[in-house]
Amino acid sequence: MPAPSRAEGAAPPPDAVAKAADALAEAARTGVPCPPVRGLIDAADTAAAYAVQRLNTERLLGGGRRVVGRKIGLTSPAVQRQLGVDRPDFGALLSDMAVPDGGTVPAGRLLQPKVEAEVALVLGAGLPHEQNTVADVLRAVDFALPALEIVDSRIADWDITYADTVADNASSGLFVLGGTPVPLTGVDLRAVRMVLTRDGEEVSAGSGTDCLGGPLNAAVWLASVLAAAGDPLRAGDVVLTGALGPMVPAAPGDMFETRITGLGSARVTFGKEEER
């Protein structure tokens, strides 16, 4: 999984990258969050942060997992301003991160989970070109689904900068896809409305335009960045295009459901502590 190419400067120090990757991997293994990794790599060095992400992803792939798609993060202008960045980031979706619609996340599976609702795109064709348009993405997408992304941070108290979240696989955790595919000919993703409930109470809401002006815009950005890095989106990939509303903390016993107009619903429950 190549990282975005470095615009200038030397390659990131291998020892710093390895130490940051080790810290994040140990936090995931033990369930004990680690300090921010910006103390190990330059907080302004995006290439080093993606090198950390790539190293830990390759380690997981060596254990038998496989990449099934990508997630896009930081698609909200408000969150970008909060972290002082002007662009989204991305992470890898692995096969063991998928939770069935209506399924349960076992207690203790994640460290500091939060839930956000998104539009997922499933590709029927690859996007190999470095400069993509909305038309390219429309041709490549097979169908859309409502999705819940369960984000997580291996870094204590979510004390993250852009470099921290990139290194930590864009704060990926798990994801849930709704079960009814919708062709894009039948829905305008900019106009969709999203409501997220926790135990039946609305906790987040938003629209398609809250995701970089529209989920397809986010997909165009991702496709172009990955193709330029030599690792383009491929047929069959799932793309989580970014949150349509604020993320919400999750606790044991919580049940979350999102409904997105034109796409349907997706639901997940967090197991109680005694269910371990």
Three state DSSP letters for 165-194: HHHCHHHCCEEEECCCCECHHHCCCCCCEE
End-to-end CA distance of the chain: 34
* CA quadruple 37, 40, 42, 45: dihedral, nearest 10: -60
Collapse the DSSP code of 256 into the 3-class scheme (helix H, G, I; strand E, B; otherwise coil) and give the result: strand
Strands 248-249 and 114-123: antiparallel
Distance between CA 164 and CA 183 in Å, rounded? 36
Task: Please give the model's pTM, rounded to 2 decimal places.
Answer: 0.93
Collapse the DSSP code of 275 into the 3-class scheme (helix H, G, I; strand E, B; otherwise coil) and give the result: helix
Q: Using CB atoms within 10 Å of the CB of residue 62, give its burial: 0 to 12 exposed, 13 to 18 middle, 19+ buried.
A: exposed
What pLDDT score does 12 carry?
Answer: 60
Q: Is 212 left (phi over 0), alpha (psi -120 to 50) or beta?
A: left
Task: Name the DSSP letter for residue 261.
Answer: T
What pLDDT score does 10 carry?
Answer: 53
What pLDDT score does 2 carry?
Answer: 46
What pLDDT score does 8 carry?
Answer: 39
Task: Name the DSSP letter for residue 158.
Answer: G
What pLDDT score does 11 carry?
Answer: 59
What pLDDT score does 274 carry?
Answer: 62
Which residues have C-beta within 8 Å of that of residue 170, sequence separation ≥ 6?
53, 71, 72, 73, 89, 90, 91
Regions in the chain scoring below 70 on pLDDT: 1-13, 82, 274-276
